Structure 1
Amino acid sequence: MRNPHVLLVSRHDYGHLNPTIELAKNFRLAGARVTVATTISGFYKLKSLPSLHGISCLSISDGHDDDINAGKIPGYVHDLKRVGSESLASLIQTLSESGKQVTLLVYTLFLPWAAVAARELNVPSAILLIQSATCFSIYNRFCNSRDGIVVVNKDIGTSISMKLPGLPLFKWSDFPTFVLPTSPYFSDMVSVCQEHLQFLDDDPNPHVLINTMDGLEPESLKSIANAVVVGPLVPSSLSSSQDPYFKWLDSKPENSVIYVSFGSTAVLSKAQKEEILHGLIGSCRPFLLVLRDEGEDEEEEIKELKKKIGDDGLVVGWCSQSEVLKHRAVGCFITHCGWNSTLESMVAGVAVVACPQFADQPTNAKMVEDVWGNGVRAFVDETMVVRREEIKRCLEAVMGGGARAEEIKKKVEKWKQVAVESVKDGGSSQMNLKLFLGSIS
């Protein structure tokens, strides 16, 4: 196709935007004209990034343009579908009328209505899975309209388990939380997943782009028709090495620092923050902890614990994660195990202590410990808190120098090399994307 114009549509969450932006850059490198569209709140996040040269950014409406927290409103996915599909169709038509006809629409997971809007305008489309292929396989087993678990079983209990080809047994605590009836988003998200699966089933030639790596999820990839591996889509640097925390990292020995971050969405309880701080201080290892700044609203107990942190601890409100993980001083990553963070840890070659919170994170944590072997999973107590003793156990397993730590180190190096080969110039992900782009007519 000559001069293809790719329109990428994403939700406003950073977990969706970050891989979308990286894929947009890769499409640009492959010779396409590229436009990224998201909701109003996401649009301002895009415009704040310095690394979007040659990529246009546009917005669509979700019906809540003045509410930056609209995604937490019950029924938001239905508002997004109703208003967003009309707004997207109008955007595609406007681009066409201005001589910028869209030749391919790429939409992220949980936006099936975007594919419907594209089909009605005779625009080819492809879904970008911003979660793992394994998670998508689980969504299929739960939500497909033929024999999906939520279709044939109206009373899903905690004893439920699932065996996927080539993988260990998955239990209740290993599933993406959205497919479990205890999730407040269960009804909405199951409906969205069913729409995704139905659209792909009805499409005689579906296109599925997956943010994963060759060799990482071979069996799960086999279960997805027309899967195209385009990852790992890891964000580029967003900060300068002049930022103060880099100077602090420079002062620490190699592989000595525990980096701790739970992403941009998770809200930690007071008890969990206390346990993390106690566990880190008691580890007697240097640590860089990301806690979103709460200012005067921060609990007094947390303020007091912060005062006990010496020179070997640093708490920041934000940092450039992909760059921090690549720093020579970082030896362990305590993470919520979102898919972006999981892939970033592999690219950087850093072992993981997984503390999943919600969504796909429990599944990623299961894979980290039981399949990929590049880390361990921390377990919660009856109050759903990871206690300081458990944090100590996990850190010892990863950084203690014993047999398990050595085995984890080997797996970390293995997946780092796979990632390097995937994203290098002429690597598998780059070639896969070029072949895919050339196949769209």
Structure 2
Amino acid sequence: MTGQRKILIVAYPGQGNINPSFRFASRLMKMGVDVTFCTSLSGVRRIDKETIPQGLTFAPFSDGHDSGIQPSTPLEQYVSDFATCGARAVAEAISSAATAGQPFNHLVYTTAIPWAARVAHAHGVKSSLLWCQSATILDIYYYYFNEYEGFISSNKNNPTFPINLPGLPPLTTADLPSFILPSSPKEHDFIISMLKDHIDMLKKAPRILVNTYNELEVESIKAIEKLEYLPIGPLIPSEFLDGKDSSDSSRGKDFFVKSEDDYIQWLNTKPKSSVVYVSFGTIASFSMDQMEEMAMGLLESRWPFLWVIRDSEQAGRLSKIEEVRKHGMIVGWCSQMAVLSHQAIGCFVMHCGWNSTVETLVAGVPAVVFPQWSDQATNAKMVEDVWRTGVRVRRRESDGGGGREGD
């Protein structure tokens, strides 16, 4: 065996996990580390092959959902199948490498797959969690499963109740992750068990690689003595960190299939800080009524806008679609860091997922945030009240939607 270190990265196939773990893999490889990347076939098939770091080895496996999760498939079933098939695949990858005399030195696993740490432990391989959300969020989950569950649960129906956790900013119940609140759908109940499994696995392997940086979450990083946070962020394409002009090359840095729309050329025609960029990630979906509200709000702002709408049929049903296309541009997807780094962008309207939050902070673009679920309400709290880099859309009491008029 050579002296080169070998790392196995196991990633949940969602874009919010694959993008940061790919970027982490790229950095390891630049340091001379041999990296193998393990995820489902559906995740690998969605990756733009031109963006794969040279020398990266793949170990894909079938989880029975090779075309990705379908609308008729319950999320719990999808996650369970991924765990069952993934555990077998990871065990086989570790055993095969050891048999070949080239064992893995370490396993890195992302958010949503704590079982990977258990497989590593069973095979005598050290592991670290690559947490693809904020350190603050992991702290909240740690506290919830260690002494604070009763306190939080007894006040979960009061959205304004103050939640003060050691080392964290002052929160209210409404600022907590959605999975521990009564508004969370019943079909997401299994996620609580998965999160508890994450926390329990940290007792065996407390090292956490987190997509953040000291200046952003200095108190949260050191809030819990039993956890060893290693901030390795921001995990964004390196060209956006070294200050180079990446308006051309960056289009190949989105690991998933790229939009063919020439949005960069369109942005080049707009004045500095004049364009509103609107994108709500890969999971959030909205009713036509809410889409109409967004369209009217954008039109009434009188600013040009670049709006990402994944469902082209839904976009085509907008009542003022011609007027929308006259004043703005709709795309199915885009390279987000290329957009946020463009001088024409003046504001980002987003869901406040962690990757988007980090990217807009790095780009220095103020945000209007409309959180939907998971960690997004907590991130929105940080954006508005702690970092003061944006404002949050106030929900209507009638239907929980966001009105075009704002505050």
Would you say 1:355 and 2:357 are equivalent positions? no
Note the 1:40-439 alignment, pairs <5 A.
Answer: 40-46=41-47, 48-65=49-66, 67-69=68-70, 72-144=74-146, 147-149=147-149, 153=153, 156-159=156-159, 160-165=161-166, 167-184=168-185, 185-201=187-203, 203=204, 206-224=206-224, 225-235=227-237, 237-239=250-252, 244-295=262-313, 300=317, 302=318, 304-309=319-324, 311-382=326-397, 383-390=399-406
TM-score (norm 1): 0.81
Q: Equivalents in 1 of 2:261, 2:156: separation in Å?
A: 49
State the 1:86 CA deviation. 1.9
Listed one character per residue, the Cα deviations across residues 285-344 of structure 1 (whole Å, up to 9, x for unaligned) are: 11111111333x6573x1x31111264311111111110000010010001111000011
Q: Equivalents in 1 of 2:219, 2:43: separation in Å?
A: 34
State the 1:40 CA deviation. 1.8
Instruction: Go from structure 1 to structure 2 and tell me whether the alpha carbon gap of 1:380 and 1:8 turns closer, same or farther (over 3 Å shift).
Output: same
Instruction: Go from structure 1 to structure 2 and tell me whether the alpha carbon gap of 1:77 and 1:151 turns closer, same or farther (over 3 Å shift).
Output: farther
Does the CA-based 8 Å contact 2:83-2:115 persist in structure 1?
A: yes
Instruction: Go from structure 1 to structure 2 and tell me whether the alpha carbon gap of 1:155 and 1:165 turns closer, same or farther (over 3 Å shift).
Output: closer
State the 1:95 CA deviation. 2.8
Q: Equivalents in 1 of 2:153, 2:177: separation in Å?
A: 17
Listed one character per residue, the Cα deviations across residues 184-214 of structure 1 (whole Å, up to 9, x for unaligned) are: 354211111111111212x2x6211010011
Moved more, 163-172 or 183-192: 163-172
TM-score (norm 2): 0.87
State the 1:31 CA deviation. 1.5
Listed one character per residue, the Cα deviations across residues 398-439 of structure 1 (whole Å, up to 9, x for unaligned) are: xxxxxxxxxxxxxxxxxxxxxxxxxxxxxxxxxxxxxxxxxx
Instruction: Go from structure 1 to structure 2 and tell me whether the alpha carbon gap of 1:219 and 1:279 turns closer, same or farther (over 3 Å shift).
Output: same
Q: Which residue of 2 aligns with 1:418?
A: none
Instruction: Go from structure 1 to structure 2 and tell me whether the alpha carbon gap of 1:130 and 1:49 turns closer, same or farther (over 3 Å shift).
Output: farther
Does the CA-based 8 Å contact 2:107-2:127 persist in structure 1?
A: yes
Would you say 1:19 and 2:20 are equivalent positions? yes
Q: Equivalents in 2 of 1:96, 1:49: separation in Å?
A: 31
Q: Equivalents in 2 of 1:78, 1:264: separation in Å?
A: 21
Does the CA-based 8 Å contact 1:180-1:186 persist in structure 2?
A: no
Match of 1:248, SS state, is: helix
Instruction: Go from structure 1 to structure 2 and tell me whether the alpha carbon gap of 1:289 and 1:250 turns closer, same or farther (over 3 Å shift).
Output: same
Q: Equivalents in 2 of 1:33, 1:242: separation in Å?
A: 33
Q: Equivalents in 1 of 2:24, 2:292: separation in Å?
A: 38
Q: Which residue of 1 aligns with 2:243?
A: none
Which residue identity is paired with 1:214? N
Match of 1:77, SS state, is: helix
State the 1:100 CA deviation. 3.7
Q: Which residue of 2 aligns with 1:417?
A: none
Instruction: Go from structure 1 to structure 2 and tell me whether the alpha carbon gap of 1:171 and 1:97 turns closer, same or farther (over 3 Å shift).
Output: same
Instruction: Go from structure 1 to structure 2 and tell me whether the alpha carbon gap of 1:256 and 1:352 turns closer, same or farther (over 3 Å shift).
Output: same
Instruction: Go from structure 1 to structure 2 and tell me whether the alpha carbon gap of 1:310 and 1:126 turns closer, same or farther (over 3 Å shift).
Output: closer
Instruction: Go from structure 1 to structure 2 and tell me whether the alpha carbon gap of 1:152 and 1:137 turns closer, same or farther (over 3 Å shift).
Output: closer
Q: Which residue of 2 aligns with 1:402?
A: none
Q: Which residue of 1 aligns with 2:247?
A: none
Instruction: Go from structure 1 to structure 2 and tell me whether the alpha carbon gap of 1:266 and 1:235 turns closer, same or farther (over 3 Å shift).
Output: farther
Match of 2:59, SS state, is: strand
Q: Equivalents in 2 of 1:76, 1:170: separation in Å?
A: 33
The number of equivalent residue pairs is 384
Does the CA-based 8 Å contact 2:37-2:58 persist in structure 1?
A: yes
Instruction: Go from structure 1 to structure 2 and tell me whether the alpha carbon gap of 1:375 and 1:151 turns closer, same or farther (over 3 Å shift).
Output: closer
State the 1:96 CA deviation. 2.8
Moved more, 99-108 or 349-358: 99-108
Does the CA-based 8 Å contact 1:292-1:316 persist in structure 2?
A: yes
State the 1:273 CA deviation. 0.7
* Structure 1 segments unaligned to the other structure (5+ residues): 394-441
* Structure 2 segments unaligned to the other structure (5+ residues): 239-249, 254-258
Percent identical residues: 39
Q: Equivalents in 2 of 1:102, 1:150: separation in Å?
A: 41
Q: Equivalents in 2 of 1:151, 1:75: separation in Å?
A: 31
Match of 2:405, SS state, is: helix
Which residue identity is paired with 1:73? L
Does the CA-based 8 Å contact 1:50-1:238 persist in structure 2?
A: no
RMSD in angstroms over aligned alpha carbons? Answer: 2.5
Listed one character per residue, the Cα deviations across residues 149-185 of structure 1 (whole Å, up to 9, x for unaligned) are: 1699578423554113454432232111122233235
Q: Equivalents in 1 of 2:7, 2:267: separation in Å?
A: 40
Match of 2:333, SS state, is: coil
Q: Equivalents in 2 of 1:86, 1:137: separation in Å?
A: 30
Does the CA-based 8 Å contact 1:165-1:220 persist in structure 2?
A: no
Match of 1:85, SS state, is: helix
